[in-house]
Amino acid sequence: METFQAFAQPWWVNLLVFIPLIAYLQWRGRGLALSWPRLAVTTVFAASFGYVEAAVVVYLRAASGLLPGYMGTLSEVARLSVQTYQQAQAGNQLPQSLATVEVFREAATMFMLAAVALLAARRTRERWAIFLWTFSVWDISYYGALWATVRWPFSLTNQDVLFLIPVPWLSQVWFPLLVSTLTMLGVSLARTKGQKSP
């Protein structure tokens, strides 16, 4: 198990922890006109998409030779990679061609989440909330799917490459999970009770 690290790299990635608070403070006055059914539908999309993203990462690592035991069963992958698989190091070892594809995949992910937000709500504030909600669900389900398939992360202190645009963002797994959980909490608390979505 890796030792706990309080800060992500580069330094400005740490500022992401303020997004849920700032967004909540902006939304709480008038509230968000988002129904639970609308959030549930976007949750289904985001959770499904999180699994797809995790599968892409597994395929990418296997194609690069960075996933031990991938020719066998998932239990063999988990058993063989428990000591050697390091997500953050794997990101640095990708061939340039695959790293380029990965950058474009990340950009496409953001466009897809933004498109769902545009389709799910009419007003900018609700669209922003849906984007943050789906991003958070996607992020949590991504780590859940990776753990379910290849048993990574082994712990919340495992180092990960969170994003590559414009430079690699590095942190331990607990950090994105914290930001995502706080974001979902902020959206939930800012909802206007009893009001239907426009």
- pLDDT at 42 > cutoff 50: yes
pLDDT of residue 69: 65
- pLDDT at 15 > cutoff 60: yes
- Tell me the mean pLDDT in the region 160-185: 95
Query: Facing residues of 150 across strands?
Result: none
CB 171 within 8 A of CB 8: yes
Which range, of 57-71, 97-111, 153-167, 178-192, averages the lowest pLDDT?
57-71
Burial class of residue 101 in the structure, from the number of CB atoms within 10 Å of its CB (0-12 exposed, 13-18 middle, 19+ buried): middle
Longest dimension (CA), the chain: 54
pLDDT, tens only, 77-95: 666 665 555 555 555 566 7
Give φ, ψ of 122 to 5 degrees. Answer: -100, -35
Query: Facing residues of 171 across strands?
Result: 160
Tokens 């990462």 belong to which residue? Answer: 57
Q: How many residues does the chain have?
A: 198
Q: Place 194 in a pLDDT band, splitting at 50, 70 and 90.
A: very low
d(CA 50, CA 160): 16
Bigger pLDDT: 120 vs 64:
120
Domain assignments of the chain as residue spans, ordered by start:
41-152+163-187
Query: Facing residues of 163 across strands?
Result: 169
